[in-house]
Amino acid sequence: MAADSAADLEPVANTTARLKTLLERAREVKPEASIDPPLRTSDLLPEINALHDGVDARYDQAYKVNVVETAARGIFYGLLNSTPIEKPTFVEIWNLLDVLASCGDQGVCASELVCYLIEELLDSQTTAGCRIVFDYLESRRERLAAKDFHKKNLIFLRSCNELLKRLSRAEDAIFCGRVFFFLFQTFPLGDKSSVNLRGEFHNENVTKFAVPDEHGEKMEVDEKAGGAVTVKAETPQPPTKPAGKGAPLKSPHKVPAEVVLSTGELYPIFWRLQQDFSEPTRLFAPVQFKTFKDGLSHTLTKFKKTPTVVQTKATETDKRGVKRKLGEEGMDDEASKHFVDNYNPKYLTSRDLFDLELSDLAFQRHILVQALILIDFLISLTDKAKKKLAVPEVNNKSLLYSFTIVEEDAKWCRDTRQAITDYLRATPTFEEGRFYHRMVETVLARDKNWVRWKLESCPSIVRDPVSTEQILDARRTARNVARPRKVPQRPMGAIDLSFLAEGHGGGLEALKDPSRYTAPSVEELIEGVKADQLDLEMAMDDAEKESIQNAITNKTWRVLRQVRESDLNLLNKVNPEKGIESLFEPAKDSS
């Protein structure tokens, strides 16, 4: 009799029974009704190896693997339909996934089967249930990625991307971050799965804002990438602040870019910058670039003239409602506190809130960082920057633009970038602003390196392991450099110091001779002058005469210094024709 479904086949039925026995063994090994601890393969190895015993030996390995997959899916769907994820009995599915991961590592089933079932599990759960499933994924990440990752990577990527599409970036910000961190930690650093090799911009990111028409009614403007503008009339609302904004401040000593626009005048100019941020190639048109320059200059000037307010942490009363909602979704108390303090929704473009947004330091920083990213992109289009890319390694032509920015616009980009960085460093305090600016510059520098890596078509960043020969050669070189060396008795160029030896009239006693440090008396110097004068008469050549004459002059100068201390009147009797000894002749005659 033919089977009605694959589950009714004898091999599938036998394997299903063995899998259920394996799950009973898992309950004995792990009595806890929680995700952790994971089941160890060593505790279940005999039962895992026996899974194929119920399949006839005439079938090949591929057939046996398909039988195990069919049996596993039948048990999985049965448990999923009958057990809510919040119940303790849902541990049966966690155990089944652990068992299938071990089976995949042993070759009993397809290694990617467990990833397919996790993907289906995520699709079947609400956001709160997906948080619990992700707890399992995070705890088993290393185990799932350890073997045959090339078969599982696309499944991980697809399931995480589908989950991110379901989540709200505003309400589920922390959960989105967990998903991104899981991908970053699972995939290798050099993986090309999310590189965006063609450099496509996110043109679908549109920002809606309202501008008044000539009748005074507000109209919602949605500037799309293709240039189409959708206008929707809106019921007029009374202003929340007194009207009568002053005209733009104008001064004959300021350039037009320094004019401070009123909030109402800046509102449409400011929000239209978002279209340039999401599609930078629009600025290749001179008209669009001029509009962008004016808008960014007016925005930066307005930021500088607006007193900023630093956001404070929410009070317990403000947090209570949001924390209750997060608690219902399964988030713990610590994570919910972090979420409330860092709540970042999509832009609120209401005209009534624009004054408050301009004074918010976090909002200002967000806009200015966007401007820095765009300005760095424009600076990369200068002739000087393009010359640096004219190397053989840069072969991804889809990221190279034929447009070259002129020098005047490049100078404006550099000046504006410097003005933005100065403003970020100065607010709210110099220390905090400098730290924030350093963090932003670090991120932008790494992004430039990332772009360069993409321009080179993402070469592998994995290096081959160091060979044994290289290690041994490095060790020999290190030993040779660090080995003790014998110092020669007399190094080359050293002075002969043998005259200091004790046995040759030198040594320490010779250095203690008073004649080495005692100044000679006047009488001794005069006797020396007389002796030098006799030597001068007997000199044989000019060089010897010059040397003796220098000695006489030196001793004469030393005599005069000593005479100055005892009797200044003797200096008046100096007669160069008679010599220095003539000063003391009268004194000798009188004696």
3-state helix, strand, coil in the chain (%, to 5): 65, 5, 35
pLDDT for position 346: 65
Complete edge-to-edge strand list for the sheet that includes strand 218-223: 208-212, 218-223, 229-234
Task: Using DSSP bridges, classify how beta strands 218-223 and 229-234 pair: parallel, antiparallel or unpaired.
Answer: antiparallel
Cβ partners under 8 Å of residue 6, min gap 6 = 12, 70
Amino acid making up residue 284? F
What is the b/e burial string over 360-380, where b = at least 16 CB atoms within 10 angstroms of the residue's CB? bbebbbebbbebbebbbbbbb
pLDDT for position 311: 65
Determine contact, residues 366/277, Cβ cutoff 8 Å.
no
Determine contact, residues 565/522, Cβ cutoff 8 Å.
no
pLDDT (tens place) for every residue of the chain, 591 residues total = 445 667 678 888 888 999 999 999 999 999 998 999 999 989 998 888 888 887 777 788 888 899 999 999 999 999 999 999 999 999 999 999 999 999 999 999 999 999 999 999 999 999 999 999 999 999 999 999 988 998 999 999 999 999 999 998 778 889 999 999 999 899 887 777 777 788 888 777 788 887 765 555 555 555 544 443 433 333 333 333 333 333 333 433 344 446 888 988 999 999 999 999 999 999 999 999 999 999 999 999 999 998 888 766 555 555 444 444 445 445 555 555 544 444 455 678 888 899 999 999 989 999 999 999 999 999 999 999 988 888 877 888 888 888 999 999 999 999 999 999 999 998 787 788 899 999 999 999 999 998 888 888 888 888 888 999 999 999 999 999 888 877 777 777 777 777 666 665 666 777 777 777 788 888 888 888 888 888 888 888 888 888 988 988 888 888 888 887 777 777 777 777 777 777 776 554 443
Q: What is the pTM of this model?
A: 0.60
Peptide bond into 459 cis (omega under 30): no
Task: Break the chain into its structural domains and give their ranges.
Answer: 1-186, 263-310+348-456, 522-582
How big is the chain by its Cα radius of gyration, in Å?
44
Here the tokens at position 43 are: 């505790």
